[in-house]
Amino acid sequence: MSDAAVIDPVELSQRLIRCPSVTPIDGGALDELQTVLQELGFTCHRLTFSEEGTPDVENLYARLGETAPNFCFAGHTDVVPVGDSGAWTIDPFAGEILDGDLYGRGSSDMKSAIASFVSAAQRFVEDQGGTPPGSISLLITGDEEGPAINGTVKVLQWMTENGESIDACVVGEPTNPDTLGGMAKIGRRGSFTGWLTVNGVQGHTAYPQLADNPLSRLVKMMAPLAEEQLDQGSPLFPPTTVAIASIDTGNGATNVIPAKATASFNIRFNDLQTAESIETWLRETFDAVGGDYELVTACSSNAFVTEPGPLTDDLIAAVDQVLGVTPELSTTGGTSDARFIRAYCPVVEFGGVGKTMHKINEHVRVEDVHRLADVYHVMLTRFFDRARD
């Protein structure tokens, strides 16, 4: 490792926040990160991926060391839009500190985690006399908050094609609901979305016998989704949940029976279900009502879990050593790019506090940024100590 300046994770977080990297715009965030990593001796690969119908996305894969094992940190520099900028107490891209809190879009989700890991990696390599006992890498995408088509999944494919492999990974998503150290994610529920269209015959509401009201059938079709519970959960997952997102006819008249009605819904499912089993249940439910309908479905990921083992042990021990608490190992919440990484190596998620992510006045405690770097430092130490045993 070169004689680079000591990295302050808060200062690096501020520099990354000041890059307005709203998906899919990079805003200079990867340039900022690459400069720091190259000064630390990392070999950096800037990877731009394209696919018809989606914007091009820049990504970064950086590695220090050439031997196994390879401990990878995965994250994203892209952020969601700021919303009403006038409602923010502080400019959302100023990266300012107020009363011990670091404000800015991406401060929680998840630029401070990236900065914390870079700081931890520098400290760990210095502990080793300048050469890591293996490799440390970062997989950073600009497409996590977007469609996730030209990001992590394609970086992983590129890595395979170029002989790059990883042995363990921590994703820096803001996993903690309230306080740092409260929760880590060892898996995620699957996400299944459906769009239902029920076709009928338009007519006058005074003469319903002359029409076929699609809303009557749609309501019956949707009732089990609102009322039934698919399962009671499993040892590592909560029960499957169904949320109806919209019901619409596009009908502005009160005396007209519409020709069709549509509904959309999302199902977050555990390891007792699959996309196939859910679709079978839906079609059986809708067929029981009958009539002319169309169902379009999409599944972004099946449920997955990293069974408790050496990697989760390292995380639990690191959190306990630094923070004096034991994190809950959870599979709750939405999804993340861990759903792609889990096919390549064991993966856990641990980052800052997510209470304000995606909100107006997103912020993190300055103290938490430093403590998160300490947790990552201990994780690296434990991981490579195990590899040497």
Cα 25 to chain centroid distance, Å, stands at: 18
28, 143, 301, 350, 385 from 174: Cα distances, Å: 22, 17, 20, 7, 26
Task: Show the tokens assigned to 312.
Answer: 């989760």
127 phi and psi angles, rounded to 5 deg: -60, -30
Nearest to 288 by CA among 337, 207, 357, 217: 217
* Res 4: pLDDT: 79
Indicate which residues carry an active-site annotation. Answer: 78, 144
How many Cα atoms are found within 13 Å in the side-chain-facing hemisphere of 149?
9
Measured on CA atoms in the order 163, 164, 166, 171, is the torsion positive or negative? Answer: negative
Task: Show the tokens assigned to 310.
Answer: 């050496």
Walk along the chain (389 residues) and give the pLDDT tens digit of each residue: 556 789 999 999 999 999 999 999 999 999 999 999 999 999 999 999 999 999 999 999 999 999 999 999 999 999 999 999 999 999 999 999 999 999 999 999 999 999 999 999 999 999 999 999 999 999 999 999 999 999 999 999 999 999 999 999 999 999 999 999 999 999 999 999 999 999 999 999 999 999 999 999 999 999 999 999 999 999 999 999 999 999 999 999 999 999 999 999 999 999 999 999 999 999 999 999 999 999 999 998 899 999 999 999 999 999 999 999 999 999 998 889 999 999 999 999 999 999 999 999 999 999 999 999 999 999 999 999 998 87
- Helix extents (H) in 195-290: 214-227, 275-289
Please, what is the Cα angle at 303 between 179 and 25, to 5 degrees? 65
d(CA 349, CA 291): 45
- Domains assigned to the chain: 9-188+303-388 (3.40.630.10), 190-301 (3.30.70.360)
Nearest to 116 by CA among 326, 314, 366: 366
The distance between the two most distant Cα atoms of the chain, rounded to a whole number of Å, is 85
* Res 1: pLDDT: 53
* Res 118: pLDDT: 98
- Work out whether strand 54-64 and strand 135-141 pair parallel, antiparallel, or are unpaired: antiparallel
d(CA 389, CA 385): 7
Measured on CA atoms in the order 108, 110, 116, 119, is the torsion positive or negative? Answer: negative
3-state secondary structure of 387: helix
Tell me the residue ranges of DSSP E strands in 134-189: 135-141, 168-171, 183-185, 187-188
Measured on CA atoms in the order 180, 321, 374, 318, is the torsion positive or negative? Answer: negative
169 phi and psi angles, rounded to 5 deg: -145, 140
| CB of 360 closer than 8 Å to CB of 366 | no
Give the count of beta carbons closer than 10 Å to the beta carbon of residue 254: 6
